[in-house]
Amino acid sequence: MRSRAERETGGVKLEVIATSVEEAEAAARFGADRIEYIAAFEEGGLTPELGSIREVVGAVPIPVHVMVRPHSRSFRYGPDELRDMAEAVRRIREAGANGVVLGVLTREGTVDEEALKVLLEAAGDLSVTFHRAFDEIEDQPGALRTLLAYPQIRHVLTSGGRPSALEAAHRLRELTELSRGTHLTVLAGSGLRPEGLEAFLRRTGVREVHLGTGVRYGGDPAQGIDPARMQTVKAILERYHTERE
């Protein structure tokens, strides 16, 4: 339900991509702190159907954040598309989700603040994640400072502008330091998997990670959540947290 608070487990939080009720239940069962619920994994994630959003929200005891993205062509949207996105945000809020995941850019490749304000108004008290549209922005520290002006934006999902977050440790550390002590958390995602995860955490200091193919059978987006890989990731996060205490 929307009234559920983000789970305070301490340590590094784990967000997992789910594309169905079954995947969401498996992710929650094996230690995810939050679900990013999407359709069309192969397109980088699109807005799921409203009925399935209600099902997922009702099926898991952890927060559910829902993708709001009408197509995969770009992160620039016309007036009609923006109106449809705002309506989708309102419906997602009514369905009881905890948050929405969205991103809007100008033709110049900067944060489209006018479009963003429209979507934030529709979001109301939902937690907002600015998604990997952020990775198309050249001046990422500047973009992060722009997003810090909006208290509803609680996360920025980013791979530091590289295809894999593993290739951008320096940038992710920089962004994490910039966000420290603010309402906004850098959520590192893309290319993360159990192998190399602990070293990545040490190099970046990120407080939240986002995994998709990294916790699926064979690393295949068409396959389901792999309990063994989930358990390995959770063990890494818990060990890292324990060592830092």
* 129 occurs within a structural domain: yes
- Tell me 196's DSSP state: T
* 121 occurs within a structural domain: yes
pLDDT at residue 244 in the model: 78
| DSSP per-residue string spanning 133-190 | GGGG-S-HHHHHHHHTT-TTEEEEEE-TTSSSGGG-HHHHHHHHHHHTTSS-EEEEES
pLDDT at residue 5 in the model: 38
Burial call 37-58: b when 16+ CB within 10 Å, e when fewer = bbbbbeeebbbbeeebbbbbbe
Query: How many structural domains comprise the chain?
Result: 1
Residue of 133, 192, 130 whose CA lies nearest to 164? 192
* 198 occurs within a structural domain: yes
* 3 occurs within a structural domain: no
What whole-number distance in Å separates Cα of residue 28 and Cα of residue 114? 36
pLDDT tens for the chain, 245 residues long, are 333 433 444 689 999 999 999 999 999 999 999 999 999 999 999 999 999 999 999 999 999 999 999 999 999 999 999 999 999 999 999 999 999 999 999 999 999 999 999 999 999 999 999 999 999 999 999 999 999 999 999 999 999 999 999 999 999 999 999 999 999 999 999 999 999 999 999 999 999 999 999 999 999 999 999 999 999 999 999 999 888 76
* 6 occurs within a structural domain: no
Q: Cα dist. 199→133, 146, 193, 228 in Å?
A: 26, 30, 11, 20
* 235 occurs within a structural domain: yes
What whole-number distance in Å separates Cα of residue 218 and Cα of residue 225? 10
Which segments of 38-172 are extended strands (E)? Answer: 64-67, 99-102, 127-130, 153-158
pLDDT at residue 245 in the model: 67
pLDDT at residue 87 in the model: 98
pLDDT at residue 1 in the model: 33
Residue-number span of the structural domain to which 126 is assigned = 13-244
CATH number of the domain residue 147 falls in? 3.20.20.380
* 54 occurs within a structural domain: yes
Residue of 67, 68, 139, 145 whose CA lies nearest to 106? 139
Backbone angles phi, psi at 236, to 5 degrees: -65, -45
CA–chain centroid gap for 63, Å, is: 12
* 22 occurs within a structural domain: yes
